[in-house]
């Protein structure tokens, strides 16, 4: 009998959206109400490393398992199960076509996953996590799948994960097919197109767990009137402007769309009933600091964006590092609520891959 352990590893990067995904039109398939666009951050600073293995010798009752940062993690959730199912089906098709292949699709899977950044940093790690999860198994199964095909599977794990299958500037096209077959990511531009782009991550020191993105989205779709305006008008315009800004390497335009889209997303959250607040006083202080940095420079050198939490991500260009990072430390350094090392930019100012 085949008692071999088959194994493959991969890493996946974090991405931070500049036009936000917020809202599901099909919660089961993770189909979004709007397209979104993100910047992939450097894997040298932020990444998930995942090893997938399978063996007929793994005790069958144990089933599939995941060890996340050393802790056993639940894999019974519908999203994780959808990823397992999709990947196994593709492997089973290969095995049916070529009976000489080992029957990996029938063996229990073990996944071991590690982030190289503290989970306590409050960064949304699900994007890198599911992207690495899907690619590690695809590598193990030797699936002839393109990043676009894998993005389709990762999307079902966590929406934003579909954008972590690509580097550089990445769009997730919402698509229109009811089965989700056209809701996938593509690369708008490689990192080399605009290699000066940097991200400074400001970590709020007292980031307590807020409303999950899934329930926040559900509540927003169900109760916000402003949200309808966002998905019909605001986001389509922002997608268009953002793609043009990236093509032209126009930082002022990139920054304006980034900040406006973050504001719009958080406005719809405040417009839900009852309202959801992801930003707090220190978040708002960072917004004011970005405005002060830009005013002092006499041009736009920094842009803020916030996901479903109080941490700020500041985009800027390499040549403006001193103006941005130095000034931030000056403005926010004396303020309680931010982790000091994140203000100094230590381990936090990351380049694109
Ligand atoms: O992929 P999820 O379900 O964790 O949702 C991510 C939502 C935001 O981070 C707020 C926006 C985005 O596009 O990444």
The domain that contains 34 carries what CATH number?
3.30.230.10
Pick the range with the lowest mean pLDDT from 1-5, 26-30, 156-160, 241-245: 1-5
Q: Which of 15, 16, 17, 170 to mutate to test the pocket of ligand 1 (most atoms within 8 A of CB)?
A: 17
Tens-digit pLDDT profile for residues 156-183: 999 999 999 999 999 999 999 999 999 9
Angstrom distances, CA of residue 56 to CA of 50, 142, 214? 20, 17, 35
Rounded to whole angstroms, the Cα distance separating 340 from 349 reads 14
Q: Residue 212 burial by CB count (10 A; 0-12/13-18/19+): exposed, middle or buried?
A: exposed
Q: What is the mean pLDDT of residues 304-322?
A: 94
181 and 205 together in one domain:
no
Q: What is the mean pLDDT of residues 283-288?
A: 95
Res. 341 pLDDT band, cuts 50 70 90:
confident
Last residue of a domain, one of 159, 189, 219: 189
pLDDT for residue 199 = 94
22 and 133 together in one domain:
yes
38 and 123 together in one domain:
yes
29 and 75 together in one domain:
yes
CB of 268 within 6 A of ligand 1: the answer is no
123 and 172 together in one domain:
yes
CB of 338 within 6 A of ligand 1: the answer is no
160 and 234 together in one domain:
no
pTM for this predicted structure: 0.96
- How many separate domains does the chain show? 2
pLDDT for residue 348 = 66
Task: Give the CATH number, domain containing residue 339.
Answer: 3.30.70.890
Last residue of a domain, one of 189, 221, 252: 189
Whether residue 196 is predicted with pLDDT greater than 90 in this model: the reply is yes
User: Rounded to the nearest whole angstrom, what is the distance from the C-alpha of residue 122 to the centroid of ligand 1?
Assistant: 13
Last residue of a domain, one of 164, 189, 214: 189
Over the chain, what is the mean pLDDT? Answer: 93
Q: Is residue 1 domain-resident?
A: no
Q: What is the mean pLDDT of residues 77-106?
A: 97
158 and 288 together in one domain:
no
152 and 17 together in one domain:
yes
pLDDT for residue 349 = 72
135 and 275 together in one domain:
no
Q: What is the mean pLDDT of residues 31-51?
A: 95
Q: Which of 29, 124, 261, 268 to mutate to test the pocket of ligand 1 (most atoms within 8 A of CB)?
A: 124
DSSP percent split of the chain into helix, strand, coil, nearest 5? 45, 20, 35
Whether residue 120 is predicted with pLDDT greater than 60 in this model: the reply is no
- Write out the residue range of the structural domain in which residue 258 sits: 197-351
Res. 16 pLDDT band, cuts 50 70 90:
very high
157 and 51 together in one domain:
yes
pLDDT for residue 207 = 67
Q: Which of 12, 16, 19, 20 to mutate to test the pocket of ligand 1 (most atoms within 8 A of CB)?
A: 20
Beta bridge partners of 6: 54
User: Rounded to the nearest whole angstrom, what is the distance from the C-alpha of residue 61 to the centroid of ligand 1?
Assistant: 34
Tens-digit pLDDT profile for residues 49-78: 999 999 999 988 789 999 999 999 999 999
């Amino acid at each position: 009998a085949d008692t071999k352990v088959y194994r493959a590893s991969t890493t996946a990067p974090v991405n931070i959206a500049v036009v936000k995904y917020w809202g599901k039109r099909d919660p089961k398939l993770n189909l979004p109400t709007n397209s979104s666009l993100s910047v992939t951050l450097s894997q040298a600073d932020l990444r998930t490393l995942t090893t997938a293995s399978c063996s007929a010798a793994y005790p069958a009752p144990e089933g599939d398992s995941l060890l996340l940062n050393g802790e056993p993690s639940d894999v019974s959730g519908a999203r994780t199960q959808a990823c397992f199912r999709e990947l196994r089906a593709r492997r089973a098709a290969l095995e049916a076509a070529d009976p000489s292949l080992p029957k990996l699709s029938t063996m229990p899977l073990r996944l071991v996953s590690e982030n190289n950044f503290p989970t306590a940093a409050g960064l949304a790690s699900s994007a890198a996590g599911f992207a690495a999860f899907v690619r590690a198994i695809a590598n193990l199964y030797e699936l002839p799948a393109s990043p676009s095909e894998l993005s389709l599977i990762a999307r079902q794990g966590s929406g934003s994960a579909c954008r972590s299958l690509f580097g550089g500037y990445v769009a997730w096209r919402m698509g229109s097919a009811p089965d989700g077959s056209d809701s996938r990511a593509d690369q708008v531009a490689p990192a080399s197109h605009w290699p000066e782009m940097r991200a400074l991550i400001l970590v709020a020191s007292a980031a307590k767990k807020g409303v999950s993105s899934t329930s926040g989205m559900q509540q927003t779709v169900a109760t916000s009137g402003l949200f309808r305006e966002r998905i019909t008008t605001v986001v389509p315009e922002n997608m268009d402007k953002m793609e043009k800004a990236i093509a032209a390497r126009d930082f002022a335009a990139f920054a304006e769309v980034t900040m406006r889209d973050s504001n719009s997303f958080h406005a719809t959250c405040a417009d839900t009933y009852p309202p959801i607040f992801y930003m707090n006083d220190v978040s708002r202080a960072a917004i004011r600091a970005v405005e002060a940095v830009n005013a002092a420079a006499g041009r736009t050198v920094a842009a803020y964006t916030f996901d479903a939490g109080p941490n700020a991500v500041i985009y800027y260009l390499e040549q403006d590092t001193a103006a941005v990072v130095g000034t931030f430390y000056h403005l926010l350094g004396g303020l309680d609520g931010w982790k000091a090392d994140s203000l100094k930019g230590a381990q936090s100012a990351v380049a694109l891959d």
